[in-house]
């Protein structure tokens, strides 16, 4: 049973990574005005560490929410 859960988590991480990579490879549309969002690239090792923390804690529904919250926390620390 433990092995089956580990394999399922690994598959889920792989699929999540593929979605992230697909989003990063999408061409930006130019000439349609300024977007409210920007694409950022992170090393795969860092993304895997974040996914491990997300799996362990289970609080964030996706990696975008985790990164957004971490950036907001860091900005608030520097404002003080």
pLDDT tens track for 42-64: 999 999 999 999 889 988 888 88
- pLDDT tier at 77 (50, 70, 90 boundaries)? very high
| 9-13, 20-24, 54-58, 69-73: range with lowest mean pLDDT | 20-24
Q: Is 15 helix (H, G, I), strand (E, B) or coil?
A: helix
Where are the domains positioned within the chain? 2-79
Burial of 50 by CB count in 10 Å (0-12 exposed, 13-18 middle, 19+ buried)? middle
pTM of full prediction above 0.85: no
Average pLDDT for the chain: 79
């Amino acid at each position: 049973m433990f092995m089956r859960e580990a394999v399922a988590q690994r598959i889920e991480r792989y699929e999540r990574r593929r979605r992230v990579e697909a989003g990063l490879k999408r061409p930006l549309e130019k000439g349609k005005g300024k977007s409210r969002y920007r694409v950022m690239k992170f090393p795969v090792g860092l993304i895997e560490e974040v996914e491990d923390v997300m799996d362990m804690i289970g609080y964030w529904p996706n990696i975008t929410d985790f990164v957004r919250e971490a950036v907001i926390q860091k900005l608030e620390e520097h404002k003080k």
